[in-house]
Structure 1
Amino acid sequence: MSVHDEMTSVQRCLDDLARSVGRLEQQLGSGGLDMRRVRADAEHLRESVALLREATATRTGAAQSTQRKPELLTIPDTPYDGSLWVDIDDEGLGARDRRAP
């Protein structure tokens, strides 16, 4: 099952839980500490799942954007300008005006 399907299933279960808590409140009354705690816990679960859904959507969107083909960069065949390297020593050979050890 995909993550989207699992999140939808969790959301349906939370909706069922909210309906059940509402029916319990009608039967037992909503003034008791235990009933308020159950209602608050159900709301916390709903908020947590909403945050998880947002984070999953962001992560999935980022994963899809990284799976796109990279943009091709054309590198010309012409030689580079030699003046770019006039102040650089040849690596491993020492300076041009000195002898290697």
Structure 2
Amino acid sequence: MTAHDDLATAAKQLADLRASVASLQAHLGDTVDVQRLRDDVARLAADLNLVARVEGLRHGPAQPGEIIYIPDEDYDPSFWSDADDEGLGATGRAG
């Protein structure tokens, strides 16, 4: 099994756990214990994302409330070449 396979398996099991905790919440209400379980699942998702990032892999689409790592490096200027400056219009266009 590759690291990618292991991460995919962990992500699937995490999704199943998230669904189970949501089901428990529906049955038991929003108790302190259920809130702690939800927080634990969120922490597991964050840790799994960290491992995937370190390994250069991603385990699938982000889940609601999941923290997504965004690097601090500047974007390539060509990314913005056809974008409008908010309130100023397109760059190079006379007003």
Please confirm whether the aligned pair reaches a TM-score higher than 0.5, indicating the same fold: yes
RMSD: 1.1
- Higher relative contact order, structure no. (Cα contacts within 8 Å, ≥ 6 residues apart): 2
2:20 matched to which residue of 1?
20
Structure number, greater radius of gyration = 1
Letter aligned with residue 6 of structure 1: D
**Any idea what the Cα deviations from partners look like across 1:27-71, whole Å, max 9, x if unmatched?**
0001x111110110011001110111000117xxxxxxxxxxxxx
Structure 1 residue runs of 5 or longer lacking an equivalent are 59-101
| Equivalent-residue separation in structure 2 for 1:52 and 1:2 (angstroms) | 14
> Which structure shows the higher helix fraction?
1
- Trace 1:5-44 onto structure 2 (pairs within 5 A): 5-30=5-30, 32-44=31-43
| Equivalent-residue separation in structure 2 for 1:36 and 1:47 (angstroms) | 17
Q: Matched residue pairs, number?
A: 57
- Trace 1:67-86 onto structure 2 (pairs within 5 A): none
> Which structure shows the higher strand fraction?
2
| Equivalent-residue separation in structure 1 for 2:22 and 2:12 (angstroms) | 15
Structure 1 outlier segments of 4+, above 3 Å = none
What's the CA shift for 1:3? Answer: 0.6
Q: Please give the TM-score of this superposition, normalised by the length of structure 1.
A: 0.55
Identity between Structure 1 and Structure 2 (%): 30
